[in-house]
Amino acid sequence: MPAIKLSVSRVFAGLAAVAFSAPIVAATLVVNNESPMDVTTPPGFTYIVQGASGSLSVPTQGFLFCANVYTSNPPSPTAVTVVPQHGDWKLPIAQDVSGVGYNAGVLGVNRAVQTSLVCHGVGAEGETASPRSDGMLRSGYESKTVEQYGNLINWIAPVGFNWTSPDWAMVPADPCSATEPVQVRENIACAAVTGARTAGAGSTLRSATMLAGTDGTSFFYIVRVDASYGALQRIEGPQMPATINQHQPSDATSVMMSIVEGYDRGVVGVGGGYLGDSGEWCLLANMPAALTSNVCAGAFPSGALSGPANIPFTLSLVPGSTPRASFYVAFVRQIVGPPPSVVEPVSAVSILLEPSLLSEGGDAFRGDDVSFAFLPTSLGFPWMTGGL
């Protein structure tokens, strides 16, 4: 049975004006005691509280995906907003920054308080610092290709499996099911976003990157979402969550998760960046036979985009509501600028679990929480092609 969720108490930042100047040495950013990532210096970071609001701006050498994941009580409007920055990218922002400190090269955010703020960070080339929330590391002698491919999959490869040229047909399609053998048994809560490809006869294969396409006007991409609450089950196949795009009361029978997205952002007539803020998203029970700009036509639920997506959903233990989900989320965005290189991602999607479950050991495997989309001609980051 899943552990009973802890009540979330929030301690908000003081209203006195405070500012930290940019550190003169490379800093490390740590949010809610999660895996650290580098802060770009210069210009470093700024933290300013003015009156009833404020902001923490953090240019990073990696991709940071943040959201407020909460149940019935939204974060206070007086909270500080965290604004991650990475090149031309537009990344999701979130409030409820309750405390910031800088010491010995470490920028700590909410190190000792409970909060609705959740963030996932990955390195500049999509690498995961540690796939496990308890901080256990793999052998430093493994190649980056082997290390990072293994961190994408909550699965132990059999003898003879070649990560340099992986056979994706051997990889379990659902990382949140009880399919053996798993690297980490996630019996409290599991959350994963992964790339997928159509395998014929209605089945899909796992993939290192999201399936993506373009018609010259729009860029479209699709990610698979798998999640579970409580003991893992030997059940696969489509399953929509209990509720989508709305918040449920907080209790021990439900858990909130959120799908967030970032992308290489451009502005019409300005130059730089590939995708615009406008577009649409939709949830699909099955992988479409073909991915086109019409992928969301007639789909439900769906919605318009005006910036990074943030799609909350609920899993429930209430009888009649399966405590697992397995579905696809498709995105269509307008192209407004020149494309990036084939080794640079165009967009990325992450899944975030409410902090009250994280504190109890939910989402123990963090290596499958962020998936990237590239140009259709790309094979992904250099480490995916054996370039590193």
What pLDDT digit, counting tens, does each position of 120-173 carry?
999 999 998 877 765 445 555 567 888 889 889 888 889 999 988 899 999 988
Q: How far apart are CA 332 and CA 350, in angstroms?
A: 17
Q: How many residues does the chain have?
A: 388
Q: Report the run of H or E that residue 149 belongs to, with start and end.
A: helix 144-152
State yes or no: cis peptide before 323, omega within 30 of 0.
no
pLDDT digits (tens, 9 = 90+) for 64-82: 999 999 876 777 777 899 9
Reduced to 3 DSSP states, what percent helix, strand and coil does the chain have, rounded to the nearest 5?
5, 40, 55
Distance CA 345, CA 179 (A): 30
Residue pair 244/258 in contact (Cβ under 8 Å)? The answer is no
By DSSP bridging, strand 211-214 and strand 218-229 are antiparallel
Mean residue pLDDT of the chain comes to 85
Q: How confident is the model at residue 98 (pLDDT cuts 50, 70, 90)?
A: confident
Q: How far apart are CA 153 and CA 304, in angstroms?
A: 31
In the chain, what are the domain boundaries? Answer: 27-122, 144-385
**What is the distance between the alpha carbons of residues 110 and 33, in angstroms, rounded to a whole number?**
8
Confidence of residue 380 (pLDDT cuts 50, 70, 90): very high
pTM given for the model: 0.90
Please tell me the distance from the alpha carbon of residue 331 to that of residue 2, in angstroms, as a whole number.
32
CA distance 43 to 164: 37
**How far apart, in whole angstroms, are the C-alpha atoms of residue 168 and residue 194?**
12
CB–CB of 326/236 below 8 Å? yes
